[in-house]
Amino acid sequence: MNDMVVSPDAVAALVRSAAETEILPRFKNLAAGEVREKAPGQIVTDADVAAEKLLADTLTSLLPGAVVGEEGVAEDPTRMQALQRPGPVWVIDPVDGTANFVVGNPRFAVIVALVIDGETKLGLIHDPVADHTVFAMAGQGAWEGGKRLLVPVEKPIAEMTGSAKRRSPLADCAGHVGRRGSAGQDYLDLARGALDFAYYRGLTPWDHAAGVLIHREAQGYGALLGDRPYSPVVPYDERLLLAPGRTSWAALSAAL
């Protein structure tokens, strides 16, 4: 990437190290005092807090900039304003799928995006348990282990598998629809072809900035309803739909 001095391999190494240091030792090993409610219905663990702090420190050492992390914003919502300003912003979800993490379900992920002047330039999702990492750079494809990733070919909606709430209208027309507790893992499945589509309401940048870039670089099509472009600064109450291509996106959008 010619507008920054940062290597995706270097970012991946820092994310993997944070997972090995602060997340994996606590997986299936959380004490009662390490899990608490940060807001009604929202839980946080010591792993979330410690991993975000470590990542904020190491990523800004790699490339100085602001940090917008899920746990930091929970403490101080004004930190979100960094995405509205020029310059680099590291967007961090230290444990995406905390509820799964707490009950010992390995379907969780670490998500990191680098946003510069409001545009996502790098997105990375790491599966700590499987020790797999997928990343994308704007204009340079989506990659895992040296292999370029491509979304599946378009197919009729009735044959599609997707991530959406079961009460979504998509549940009535797609082959299989369900939600499994981690947007990061959903984006891994989309890029690898294990999922055909995903539909989200309630957009936070740490859940989606990296994944939308990875999906796009894997040749998928994603947009807000109304066929408007996604960006990390869209309002929370927007709705996002991702599909293998424009034709299937339009068909799924019509069903909504």
Q: What is the pLDDT of residue 94?
A: 98
Q: Bridge partners of 127?
A: 132
For the chain, domain boundaries: 8-148, 157-255
CATH code for 157-255? 3.40.190.80
Q: What is the pLDDT of residue 136?
A: 98
Q: What is the pLDDT of residue 2?
A: 40
The model's pLDDT over 150-183, given as tens digits with 9 standing for 90+, comes to 999 999 999 999 999 878 888 888 888 888 999 9
What does the mean pLDDT of the chain come to? 95
Q: How many CB atoms lie within 10 A of CB 167?
A: 9
Mean pLDDT is lowest, of 19-28, 53-62, 140-149, 153-162, for 153-162
Q: What is the mean pLDDT of residues 67-72?
A: 98
Tell me whether domains 8-148 and 157-255 share a fold: no
Distance of CA 180 to the CA centre of its chain: 14
Topology of the domain covering 8-148: Fructose-1,6-Bisphosphatase; Chain A, domain 1 (3.30.540)
Secondary structure (3-state) at 253: helix
Question: How many Å apart are CA 196 and CA 46, to the nearest integer?
Answer: 34
Say whether pTM exceeds 0.85.
yes
Which one is predicted more confidently, 172 or 31?
A: 31
Q: How many CB atoms lie within 10 A of CB 20?
A: 12
Residue 189, phi-psi category: left (phi > 0), alpha (psi -120 to 50), beta (remainder):
alpha
pLDDT confidence bin for 4, thresholds 50/70/90: low
Residue 53: pLDDT over 80: yes
Question: How many Å apart are CA 122 and CA 213, to the nearest integer?
Answer: 7
The model's pLDDT over 104-117, given as tens digits with 9 standing for 90+, comes to 999 999 999 999 99
Give the whole-number percent of the chain exceeding pLDDT 90: 89
